[in-house]
Amino acid sequence: MAKVKTKFVCQECGYESAKWMGKCPGCQSWNTLVEEKAVQEKQRSRSYVTSGTTVHKAQPITKVVGEKEPRVSTTMPELNRVLGGGIVPGSLVLVGGDPGIGKSTLLLQLSAKLANTKERVLYISGEESVKQTKLRADRLELTSEDLYVLAETDVSLIEQAIDEVQPSLVIIDSIQTVYQEDITSAPGSVAQVRECTATFMRIAKTRGTAVFIVGHVTKQGSIAGPKLLEHMVDSVLYFEGERHHTYRILRAVKNRFGSTNEMGIFEMKELGLEEVLNPSEIFLEERSQGAAGSVVVASMEGTRPVLVELQALISPMGFGNPRRMATGLDHNRVSLIMAVLEKRVGMLLQNQDAYLKVAGGVKLDEPAIDLAIALSIASSFRNQPTEPMDVAIGEVGLTGEIRRVSRIEQRVNEAFKLGFKRVIIPEKNLGGWTVPDGIEVVGVPTLDKALDVALGR
C-alpha cells in the first residue's frame, strides 16, 4: 500500500515544508506550520480550452471586441460608490472586518434589497442555522420571496444548491467555515481557504454569478488566511469602525472594476445599517469651538470631498526622547511636517511630545492635509486657537512652500455648503475656477505666510 504523503503548511503565509519547523522561514511566525495531506494534482491536457466549436487562441488586442460590463445596482448608493458603480456579474468580492462590526448585517441587507428588485439571491451561512438567519432578518425587517437561505459548509453541496436556485448573487458567510471533503486539513486552513476560494471563483466566472465571501480578520487587522486569497478575488472590501461606536466605514483596498479611493459610511441603528449621505456634518458635529490645536481640513475620498477635524496636542516631554503619536495619520508624515516647522518657521519642537488625531476614526493619507497638520501643531504649541470657521487645504514641501492640490473647487464648495467662512489654500490654486459667493479664499505661498493668516503674529 502506497504511503500517504504529507506536508507542513504555514497558516499565515502558505509556506510549505517537508518537515515540521517551529518558526516559519517565510513570514517568521512561530508555531504556524500544520500537517496536511499532500494532494496530487491531476494531469491536465495541453489542448486549448474550447467553447462549443470555437478554439480560444492568442490574438492581437486590436481585434478583441471590448464590451462594457453591465452592473447591477445594489440600491445602496454608498455600497455602489465603493464597488465602482454596482455589482459586476461574475465578480468575486471579499469582505473583511473585525468580529461584530456588521459584515453579516450589511450583506443580509444587500441580499434583501436585491431580492426586492426581483434578483434571485442565495445567502449561505456556515456560522448560523437557517432559523437564526431568519431571526436576524426579522429583527432587521427584511423579507422577500427571492431571498433564499441555506446553512451549509460542504462546498460540493453548496455548488449543488447554486445549480438548483440559479441566483444572480451568492453570499458565503464565511470562507473560513466551508471545506472540501478531499482535503484532509481543517476548515479555515491555508489549503481549504485556497481551494474553496478557487471553486467559488470558477462558479462566478463560468456562471456569471456574483459571489461575495466574508473573511475573518486577524489580530493584526489583515484578512485571515494566505495573502493569495486577496490576489484571487476581484475586489477586497474592508469594513472598519469601532464596535462601540455607531459609525462604520467601508473602503476598497482592491477593485478591478473601479477606484480604490472611494469610501462608504454607514451608521448602525436598531434596524441595521443606514447610509450616511453627508459624512462631513457627522465628523464635525462634536467639534469644540475655540480650542487650540483644532483645524478643519477638506480631504478627498475618491470623488467625494469630506471635511474632518484634525486635533493636535503639543506638550513638554517628560522623558529623554520626545514622543510622536498619530491616530488616523501617517506617523512619518507628522515627523516630516514637524521638522519643516522647526527648520523653516523656527518653532522649537524637539523637546515637545506630539499627539495627533483625526476625529471620527477616519484615516487620511493624501498630501492635501499637510497644511492642516502644520496649523494644528502650531496652534497647540502656541496655545492659540485658529478661527473656528476656517478650513485649511494644501501640501507642505520640505522648503516650506505650499504646493498645489487637486480638485480644489470641489473642496471649497463642500466647505461653503457646511457654512465655513474662509478657506486657506495654496497660492498656485487661485484662478481658473469660480469661488462661491459668501466664502473667502486666501492663497498662501509659504508655510510662514499660512501661519500669519491662520494664527497671526
The pLDDT assigned to 259 comes to 85
Chain mean pLDDT for the chain? 87
- Binding site for ATP, residues? 97-104
**Digit-coded pLDDT (tens) for 157-183:** 999 999 999 999 999 998 989 999 888
The region of weakest confidence among 25-34, 118-127, 347-356 is 25-34
Lookup: cell for 14: 502558505
Q: How confident is the model at residue 387 (pLDDT cuts 50, 70, 90)?
A: very high
Tell me: the pLDDT tens digits for 191-230? 788 889 999 999 999 999 999 999 877 655 566 555 668 8
pLDDT value, residue 43: 45
The pLDDT value given to residue 45: 42
Percentage of residues in the chain having pLDDT higher than 70: 91
Residues near 345 by beta carbon (within 8 Å), at least 6 away in sequence: 378, 400, 447, 448, 451
Q: At what angle do helices 370-382 and 447-455 cross, to 10 degrees?
A: 50
Which residues does the annotation place in the binding site?
A: 97-104
Q: What is the pLDDT of residues 70-87, one digit of tens each?
A: 889 998 999 999 998 899
Distances (CA, A) of 68 to 53, 84, 88, 169, 235: 25, 13, 10, 19, 18
Cell readout for 273 is: 445599517
* Predicted confidence band of residue 278 (pLDDT cuts 50, 70, 90): confident
Amino acid found at 195? E
- Joined grid coordinates for residue 6: 504529507
Could you state, in order of their start, the residue ranges of all structural domains in the chain?
6-37, 72-277, 282-455
Fold of the domain spanning 282-455: Ribosomal Protein S5; domain 2 (3.30.230)
The pLDDT, as a whole number, for residue 90 is: 93
Range with lowest mean pLDDT among 42-56, 120-134, 282-296 = 42-56
CA-CA-CA-CA dihedral for 375, 380, 386, 389, to nearest 10: 90
Backbone angles phi, psi at 136, to 5 degrees: -70, -40
State the pLDDT at residue 395. Answer: 97
Q: Is the pLDDT of residue 2 over 70?
A: no
For 255, phi and psi rounded to 5 degrees? -160, 110
Give the pLDDT score at 50. 37
Question: For 72-277, CATH number?
Answer: 3.40.50.300
Per DSSP, the chain holds a count of helices (H) and strands (E) of 11, 23
Judge residue 219's burial from the number of C-beta atoms within 10 Å of its C-beta, 0-12 exposed, 13-18 middle, 19 or more buried: exposed
Report residue 143 CA to chain centroid gap: 29
CA distances from residue 383 to 291, 314, 376 in whole angstroms, order as listed: 9, 9, 10
Phi, psi at residue 6, to the nearest 5°?
-125, 165
**pLDDT of res. 247:** 84
DSSP bridge partners of 57: none
Residue keyed to cell 467559488: 200
Express each pLDDT in 231-266 by its tens digit: 889 999 998 876 667 888 898 989 998 888 888 889
In the block, cell 448585517 appears at 105
Q: What distance, in Å, lies between the first and last C-alpha atoms of the chain? A: 88
- Mode of pairing for the β-strands spanning 121-125 and 147-151: parallel
pLDDT in tens, 14-41: 788 888 999 999 888 888 888 776 655 4
